[in-house]
Amino acid sequence: MSTLQNLNSKIEKAQAEMKQKENYLKELKQKQKDAEKKQRNHRLCKRMGHFEKLMPDTIPLTDEQFYSFLEKAVANDYGKRTLANIIAQGEKSQASTGETPQPKPAADVPVGNRLGQPQADQTKRSEGN
């Protein structure tokens, strides 16, 4: 076999290996995308399940009514400040312990504070569940 044929053979072999590696990379990226989607779906179901447990009256609402409720009750200045405070507390905790912070469940915040209303004494409310 001549040197030229030998080089052409090596080039073809390298191209075939490169194609296999590209396909393997594509497969790995798809698996990563699927895992991220599964993780997101789990998080959404878990959080909304907890939300519906805390506020069962929201279950029969239409999507439009539910979105309106969220905009008025959560996506306001008070809700944004509360979220910023929770995030800041988590960052402080993480910095002092070196651990990943776990957010406090919404049940730890009095109901009145979650909705921007005057605080009601509901600290014992969730103990019966």
Q: Mind listing the pLDDT tens digit for each residue in 10-34?
A: 999 999 999 999 999 999 999 999 9
Separation CA 82–CA 75 (nearest Å): 11
The pLDDT value recorded for residue 99 is 63
| CB neighbourhood size of 78 (10 A) | 15
Query: 91 is written with which tokens?
Result: 């960052």
Per-residue pLDDT at 111: 43
- Residue 115 pLDDT exceeds 50: no
* Alpha-carbon distances of 62 from 20, 46, 48, 99, rounded to whole Å: 49, 20, 15, 40
Q: What is the mean pLDDT of residues 60-70?
A: 95
Phi, psi of 30 (to 5 degrees): -65, -40
Looking at residue 109, the DSSP 8-state letter turns out to be: S
